Chains A and B, each alone.
Chain A
Amino acid sequence: MDTSGGGGHKKGPGVKKAKKLSTRVDLTPMVDLGFLLITFFIFTTTMSQPTAMKLFLPKDTDKPDEQNKLKESAALTVMPAKNNQVYYYEGLDPTKIQSSNFKAIRDVILDKKRRTDAKDFMVIIKCTQDATYKNTVDILDEMKIDDIHRFALVDITPDEYKIVQLTEAANGIK
């Protein structure tokens, strides 16, 4: 009895052998894509949140007993001006002006700080009209860096501005 029906197949005639498909998918391209996206997001994300710098303004007052007393010997006036220059003078005489820049002003401030009594020492910041906002923040930052607690942001007087301008002209800064 021939039940096999001819041929080498074990199955019946006309029955094709079903190809066994693997259920495994090659995931390599998917992994590639995944990591590509991760790198993209990491690079485009700005991790740092902006920080803020606190500034406390003194209250304007006309009463002399409410005003801060300032010792002449303990005062240092710094005046940021154009081209990232800083002019400074010690005491209260603007004619003793000296020029400096943002790199060198730290030593000036620290030197003055060392020479004066800590509780009297005060830095007066007078920004000229030509100073940028960056200069203003930089000099306030400098106060923080140098650990100076007494400083004031004061408007520049026209006389001082004139002196700054004259010094600028003498130094050839346009």
Chain B
Amino acid sequence: MAATPLPPFDLGALARFLAATSGASSVEIAGIELLSGGAIQENWGIDASFGGGDLAGPQRLVLRTGAATGIPSSLSRIEEFAVLRAVHAAGVAAPEPLWPCPNPSVIGKPFFVMRRVPGTAQGRQITSDPAFDPGLPEIAARLGHQLARLQTIRPPRSDLAFLPSIGAEEHIASFHRYLDAHPAPRPVLEWAIRWLETHRPAPLPAVLCHRDFRTGNYLLDGAELTAILDWEFAGWGDPDEDIGWFCCKGWRFARLDREAGGIAARAPFYAGYESAAGRQLDPARVFFWEMLANVRWGIIALQQSDRHLIGGARDLATAIIGRRAAECELELLMLLDPGGAPTEFRRHA
């Protein structure tokens, strides 16, 4: 296991926490590494050996905690732990949650610990490695099935009472609030938001939404879907929101032509969802939520960039990501004004 960079916290204090919560007489941390992919949260892979208690023996764990700066819409780690516990109990493929730690004195900030699940979440690898290709339509169907299972969790839930309820109207209001405070005007986003305002479908009964359900946030171990990750944006909302987000072009990585997350056509994903949810998807509703997904992803990209420009985060990836907002804007134009690009910009055959 790679040992760089070193964790900025006391491994002894962490070992004592793990022992106390698991009932072990002692815990030895044999290795720790910062896992890739955490732009907003830090995930530390831990190899630990438990002397007795609930998890006696060697264990592979993940400690999840916040990065130095966050973005406004993410849950706290303790809230995310509660979501993980609820979805795991509902049978969703998610890492088993083990222990929350709201006490900042252990590692300097709140965190939780979950089991480490094998697999890769790398979107570019999943969408471009030919070894994955034969199994991807089936993976798309399973993801649809998983989404339907996730949506069996519905409000009210006393254990999830902290979750925000966000429908299209609330999303649109938050987009306006962000743009009003942003120093540079974004006319394409404004035009798309206007379209959203004037084409809002009648809401469906609220369900639990993942709100970042996409390629890059699930683990594949060969042809197996092993876990859905990153529950920090979860909340109550429309059942088609996660469908639109999954199909949004921003998450197709190397395969823009495969409209279900860069891994398959929409058909197997939709079929997997519909068979488990007992509900037919309405293409017009999905289109609305895909439009909203593009606006939301564009604004998240700008918010990430703000962490660099305004929040002081000294991270190159964070600094560059704001430029991805223009990719969302191009997609919004292609969806709302197909064929409308001035001829000088179109590629000649």
Q: Do A and B bind each other?
A: no
Query: Hey, which bits of chain A sit against chain B, CB under 8 A?
Result: none
Give the interface of B toward A (CB within 8 A): none
